Structure formats: structure tokens, C-alpha cells
Chain A
Amino acid sequence: MTRYVLTLEDSAVFEPWREMARAALQRAIPPEVLDWRMRGGETDLFGQQTNDSDGMVALTEGPVLKSVTLRASCIALLRDMLCHSDPGRFALAYRIAWRVQGNPHLLDVATDADIAKARIMIRQNRQDCHKMTAFVRFRELPAQVGGEGSGRRRFLAWFEPQHHILERIAPFFSKRFTDMDWMILTPRGSICWDGKDLAYSFEPCEQPELDDGFGDLWNTYYASTFNPARVRTKAMRREMPGRYWKNLPETRLIPQLVAGAEARVRMMAEQVPLPAPAFHERLRSRDSLPLQPLSHTPEDLAAKIRSCTACPLHCAATQAVVGEGPVEARIMVVGEQPGDQEDLAGRPFVGPAGQVLQEALEKVGVERSTLYLTNAVKHFRFRLQGRRRIHQSPDEAHVAACRPWLEQEIALVRPRLIVSLGATALKALDGPGRAMAERRGTLWTAGEGENAVQRLALAHPSWLLRLGDSAQGEIERERFEEGLARLRDFCGRPDA
């Protein structure tokens, strides 16, 4: 079979290759007979001076056998891969384009040798791009006197990329350093930005002399942010390989930083503790002022509840959620425990269940702001499932540990009606033994004489939430609202 020699520029990336590859694929020319070369490149092993256009001319003389299309994902892969500087990239790209004709899933087979090689090249290109965004260092040039664009600051940088990535990476710089004029010079060409357009040149550049006197400040920062107690040069070299060092001025400090590290750590260890500075003593004397004597106010009670450590729940919860509402409220509503949202916000009934309660109250015409809302247990009890907190009902022990707080809240507010929501609240108020089912929805009087208080037991709104839109949910919601409607009688009644 005839062999064809196809020659491309050393700096060529996707477009010129695409022309040739399309012509070859249309004529069903297998990869084995194509010889991809680079102009003036060292790949011409036998020193033969082939006529550059020969292969392409000979190839296009043949008849077109079929039309060829490549999927967008394949084009994207080849485009990404071809800015690599590997001389074998054109042959590899053609082989993939050829094989993908017969096996459309080829790109998914990451274990295939060709695909694996292409992916490595893509990774190296991306890495090169990434390192360019990281290690390009602009230096300021003196301002242009008069002339066009005066007033804009001008910067110049030198970088040595390994692959043909200038066009890929230029938009990153123009979108970041939009308000200044800059040029990046490289051995593979240059990019220039004037605030409106990006201009490219693919003429190799010489390294310029760069110094705007700002380097010292950066070196100061670099040296001071280094921690001598944890020298790990291997990690540093892995991320900042030696080939970049010559264009990063701060790397000149590395030898002396490493050499001095051990002595600095030794000095820290051997240092004799010094007396504290004078302002420390002044601060301490300020701290030790006697605290105000505690009073019996709602704020005082809240502070005590917030610092409660009577049960282990305080370890994991964010905060104790104290009751909320006017101290002169006639009605107190007691729930189970704060939920996720309540725990974060530090307020009772602000989560989804609180929403249900709020809506029901609005429906029956009771103002939430006239109620004192609290919980039987003040800390959120939960179990972790990955990144989520799953509500767990409190145990007897938690309820018992929190009961003194609930009793003090009742003593403080002295409500005429206490509404318990759910079984936990009912148990916290009455002790165990009272079945929720027999009490729910009924009004009764608890306590005697001075301590007599009306009681009402209702379902917990989170239960209604769990029932959702089911038939039972409808019925229960109605029952809940009926119960809440009874609160109206207590809102309007004047104080005795």
C-alpha cells in the first residue's frame, strides 16, 4: 500500500491536523500508512528531504470514499490533546479518530492504551496551563508618558510553558487582569492585552530583564509565612518542580530558609519563658472585676439554661434553646426538643414543625407573639448520618435533667393554660403513666389552689408533618386545629 508523508508545523495544534485527517479518513486510509512529520523536526530519521505538500497532494488525488463525522466529545478530546508538544501527537490523534469509526465507545474505555496516552497528554496540558496561571509573575513597567491608553498601568511577564497553550490560557489572564495593559513573553510566542483585544504572536521571544522593586516585599512575605518547625521540601518540590524556580525570585530564599530552620526551632525550645508584657497584666486586672450579683429575671434564667451541662446532650448540640415569648403570657406551649433549625438559630419552633404550628395558629386566629413557646428538653438530640443530623427523641434521663428548667419557666411565666405538644412534653409535665391517647384534645385542671393550671394535650406538629397529605393526616390536622382553637378562650380572658 502507498505510504503518505504528512508534514505539519512544529507549533501546529488542532486545525491544520484536522484538514489532513479529514482528507485521509474520507479516503479510508489506515493509520499504518500515514507518516506524520514535523517541519524541520528531528523525526525525519533518514534525513530525507520530503517535499512538504507531496503527501497531501498524493492523498487528495484519490477519490472520496465516504463522509466522516466525529462526535463533539471526540473533537473536544483531540483538541485538548493536540496542544501537547509530543511529536507523536498527530499520529496518535489520527489513530483515535480512525478507531472511533468502528468503535463509538472507544473514548469511554480509559484502560485502552491510546485513550490512556491521550488522557495523560491532556492532563499534562492542563497542568501546564494551571502552572502558567500560578507562576506567571507580572512586573510593572514605567508609565507611558502621553500617548494612547495613558493612565492604564503596564505590566510584563516572562514564562516558559512546555506545550502550545498560549491561546488556551490567554482568556484567563485577560478576564483577571482586565484593568491593566500586559504582555506575557514566552519561547513559544507572546500574548498582549490592551483592555480590548488579545493579540498573539508565535515568534519566539527573548527573556527580558524584569524588576519593579516590588520583589522585596513579596520575599518578606514569603520568608515570614514559612514555618521552620515543619520542613517538608519534598511536598514543596512536588507542587513546584525545580524547572519553574528560575523565574520565581522567592525560590532563591529557599536554601537559607531550610538551612536556618533547625536552629530556629532549637532556639524556640530553649527559650526561657519571659515575664508577660505590661499590657497583659492590665488586661488581667480588668478581667478579674467582681461579677454582678445574679438576679431572678428571665435573662438570668436564660443564662443559666444556656450554660447547663446536666446531661450529655450539651456536648454535641450548638446551644440550649430557651423559651421565647412574653413573660406575662397566659398560655405556655411546650414542645419536645429543638430540631436542627432551632438548634442553629437558638429559637424554638422556627423549623418545619414550627411552620406547621404557625400556620395552624393563624388559621384559628391566635397570635404566636402572645404565647410563651418552649420545649421539654432544651438541647437538640440527634444522630449523625454522613453529613446529616437525624432527630432522635430524648430519653427519660434527658427529660428528667431538663425538668427543673421547665418548672422554673412555668414559675416565671405563671401561665393559666399549658399546652403540651406530643408525648414527650406530656410526660415531662405529668410524669409517666398518662396515655397520650386518652388525654389528647381534652382540657383539664392540674394542681390545686394557687398552683392550679389548665392543661391541654395536643399532637406534636412534626407528627402531622410526617403524616403528610394522607387521609389520616387530614383528620389529624383538623383535630390539631380544633384543639388549638381552644386557646382563643384564654387569650381574651382578662387577668384575675
Chain B
Amino acid sequence: MKKTLSQRLAILSDAAKYDASCASSGSTRRDSAKSGGLGSTTGNGICHSYTPDGRCVSLLKILLTNFCVYDCAYCINRSSSNVERARFTPEEVVWLTLEFYRRNCIEGLFLSSGIIRSSDHTMEQLVQVARDLRLKHGFRGYIHLKTIPDASPRLLEEAGRYADRLSINVEMPTVAGLEQYAPQKKAGGIRQAMGEMRLKIDAGKDRSHTGRRAERFSPGGQSTQMIVGADAASDQDVLASSANLYGSYGLRRVYYSAFSPIPDASALLPATSPPLQREHRLYQADWLFRFYGFAFGELTAGRADGMLDLELDPKLAWALDNRALFPLDLNRAPKEMLLRVPGLGVKAVAAILRARRHQAVRLEDLARLNVSIRKVRPFVQTPGWSPARLTDRHDLRSLFSPAPQQMNLL
């Protein structure tokens, strides 16, 4: 019996939910004021709901089909899984996107697909959805498309013309991990696709000497995801891999997805999933790299096993390992160093830099900037405050560690 639209929506959104990316940000700003059509992007992205797993619902995240010729061990849709299969027609996806969008439930569409028949066939279907949304329906909301490795350059070009962001998942932090779990996927092919996209994205930003813009190509850049905790890679390996991805392909984001149990899991997978805290720490480290001027290597340098501290955030752990650099004079230290003070965020640092031009900043002033004084105290000095020996206390760490908790029985 043919499944209803609602049943297929359930199957194909369940199949897509392991992709962590949900961002609807980073693209050009545009709206429908002139075109009189439907949709806009604000540049910042909007989350229209949150599920109890703490993740936001911003885009309609679905697969076109969850049939797949690949057999990647970590994937719910691998060919050897007994998960229920379904497929949408491109028209159905277009209709769902527009109707949810009109009710202000979503910012747009994140469309991916299992590989059916060939790469080109699959990619053609994805592109058709984006093309129909843009050209037939004048849709100006956000579109994120998954690119399929080895798809023809013509299809990639078309995908870039309609999509705000393209992505392709590296899946595993190391090549060995990929070979172990996804023998049919080739790390080389994935990197090649990312390299090709980077060249096209860069070219899309250029203007010719007459000032004419090059043809639009994925203005929101590209992103990728890797699964953490399925293979033996340490945080150091994961972050080294990220550093290379950011440097080589100019990625906007690398998403880390703690490997999560799936129904009808492959026997190859580890029995337990990693703590979600590990994923959280990786995101924090990623943030420190992207906005705070940290190099990834610094964050794991003090850790013997190459794993980030699960108890303390990476910046605090780094500061405790590098106490010789502290305390900093809040009114004199350069921006790069202020960004390294635990408890000071990018906005707080900007406010301090602005304020100290006109008057001395004191410790108690920081409370007005939403800064936790308890956290900052050992690392800064201001008129009226010097941490004296606090910075060098050997039990400084224990002042920040979370209170001990009773362990769960199994």
C-alpha cells in the first residue's frame, strides 16, 4: 500500500535528523518586497522551534529518499538496514516547503538524499527541487543542498546558483575511520568536491574589472559534518582535521555530531555513545578557533591523551595551563590577550576596549557587561583589584570544577 504523505514525512525526516547542520545564516540578505513573491533571508537565521533534544528547528530537514546504495555503518539509511524506506517526488518537497514556510514554521529547506542509481541522477533530483522553488514559485527563502560526490560539474554549478549553502560531509575525522565505516565513500572524492566548491564560491564573490558580479554560487558558503566517538580518533585528531578543512576549503562551519544510537544499528559500531559533553567541548574549541584567535593545537597541547577536558571549558583549561601569562591588566592588555581571558566574550572585550578609552575599567564594572566576576577574577587586575596569589594557587582548578555528583548505577 502506498504510504501517505504524512507517513513519508515521518520516515524521511527521521532519516535526515542525524545531520546536525540546521543553520539558516550567512547568506546574502534579500526579501520579496520588490518581487512580490514569498520569502526572505535576514543573514542571521531564525530558529522557529526547538525539540527536546535541544536542537533548533530552522529548516525543513528531509531526504528526498532514504533508499541508498551505500552501506556506511554509522548511517540509519545504509543499504543493509531494515529501516522503512520511502521517497518524495520533487513536487511534494516543493509543496511541503512552501506550505510550512507560509505558516512561518521554517526558514527554508535543507534537502539531502540517499544515493540512488547514480550520483548524477540523485543530484539532478535535488537540483530540480531547488530550481522549481526559485524559478517556478519565486521562493526567496533559504535553501541548503547536500552535494553528492562525483556529480557532474554542470549540476554542481546549477546547485550553487539556487542554493544558499552547499555541504558535503567528511563523515569521519580521519581517512582511516572513513575506510573502516564507509568503505564505498572515498575521502579523496569528498575533498576534491570541497576543493571544487571552494574555487566556485571564491569566484562567485569576485567582481570583474567593470564591477559586474560573477554568477551567484552558494553565497552562504559550504559546511561539513563529522561523526565523533564512533572511531578511535581523539579530540586532537578531530580538531586537526577541522583546522585543515577550514584552511583548505574555507568552510563556514564544521559540525561535530556525537555518534548517536540508531535503530537496527550495524554490529561494527561501538556499543556506547560518547558523552554529549564531548561534542559540546569540540564546538567550544571550534568557536575559540573561529572567533578568539586560538589555534587548535594550543587547546589540546596540555592534554596528555589529546582529549579536551570534559569538566572545564577549553578556554579555562587553557588558561589554567598557561597561568604564567596572567593576570592581565584589563586596562592595558591588547585585544588578542583579552580574548583569552576565561569569562570574557567577544562582545565584552569590545565593550571593555571602547570603555577604557574614556575611563578606567574596574572589576565591579564587569558585572554590567554580563561577565561572571568569579570566573574572571583570578586572571585580571584592575584598579582596586589584584588577584595576588590567587592566580598561582595550586587548587585553582577546584574552584571552577563542577560539584561532584553521584554516579548513575550503570
A-side residues, CB < 8 A to B, are: 105, 108-113, 116, 130, 133-140, 153, 155, 157, 172, 174-180, 195, 214, 216-218, 220-236, 239-240, 248, 250-251, 254, 257-258, 261, 265, 267-269, 271, 273-274, 276-277, 279-280, 283-284, 287, 306-307, 315-316, 318-319, 341, 343-346, 384, 386-389
Contacts and interface: CB of A to CB of B under 8 A. Distances in A.
Given A155-B102, A179-B37, A225-B57, 10 more contacts: A110-B351, A111-B369, A138-B104, A178-B35, A180-B102, A271-B263, A274-B82, A319-B191, A387-B246, A387-B247
Per CB-CB distance, the 10 closest pairs between chain A and chain B, nearest first, are: A235-B54, A232-B54, A111-B365, A175-B31, A344-B195, A116-B368, A276-B80, A110-B351, A178-B32, A226-B51
Nearest to A175: B31
A269 B261 contact: yes
Interface stretch (B120-128, B159-167, B333-341, B354-362): B354-362
A216 B261 contact: no
A214 B5 CA distance: 12
B263 to A, nearest CB: 5
B358 A108 contact: yes
A176 B14 contact: no
Interface residues of B, number: 92
A229 B261 contact: yes
Contacts of B357: 105, 108
A319 B192 contact: yes
B91 interface: no
Given A175-B32, A176-B40, A318-B191, A341 B54 contact: no
B261 A389 contact: no
A276 B267 CA distance: 12
B288 interface: no
A270 to B, nearest CB: 11
Given A111-B361, A179-B32, A261-B52, A274 B192 contact: no
Interface string B259-271: 0111111110001
Contacts of B156: none
Contacts of A268: 261-263, 265
B250 interface: yes
B261 A265 contact: yes
B135 interface: no
Interface string B56-85: 110011000000010100000001111000
B100 interface: yes
A386 B295 contact: yes
Contacts of B276: 230, 232
B38 A179 contact: yes
B165 to A, nearest CB: 18
A218 B51 CA distance: 12
B52 A316 contact: no
B188 A306 contact: yes
A138 B6 contact: no
Contact of A176 (B18, B31, B81, B105): B31
A345 B196 contact: yes
B14 A224 contact: yes
B321 interface: no
B351 A111 contact: yes
Most buried by B among A111, A134, A178, A227: A111
Most buried by B among A137, A195, A279, A387: A387
B46 A130 contact: yes
Contacts of B368: 110-113, 116
Contacts of B6: 216-217, 220
B152 interface: no
B283 to A, nearest CB: 12
Contacts of B262: 268
B9 A217 contact: yes
B13 A221 contact: yes
A273 B263 CA distance: 10
A269 B369 CA distance: 46
Contact of B61 (A217, A225, A388): A225
A47 B39 CA distance: 51
B152 to A, nearest CB: 15
A226 B195 contact: no
6 contacts: A110-B369, A138-B103, A220-B6, A232-B53, A233-B54, A280-B79
B372 interface: no
A232 B52 contact: yes
A220 B7 CA distance: 8
Interface string B237-279: 0000001101111100000001011111111000101001000
Contacts of B346: none
A179 B39 CA distance: 9
A89 B148 CA distance: 55
A279 B79 contact: yes
B325 interface: no
B247 A233 contact: no
Contacts of B188: 306-307, 319
Interface in B283-319: 293, 295
A225 B69 contact: no
B52 A110 contact: no
A487 B51 CA distance: 68
Nearest to A103: B358
A239 B60 contact: no
A110 B50 CA distance: 32
A136 B104 contact: yes
A315 B175 contact: yes
A50 B14 CA distance: 63
Contacts of B42: 133, 172
Nearest to B276: A230
Contacts of A133: 42, 46
A137 B102 contact: no
Interface in B13-50: 13-14, 16-18, 31-33, 35-40, 42, 46-50
B194 interface: yes
Nearest to B48: A134
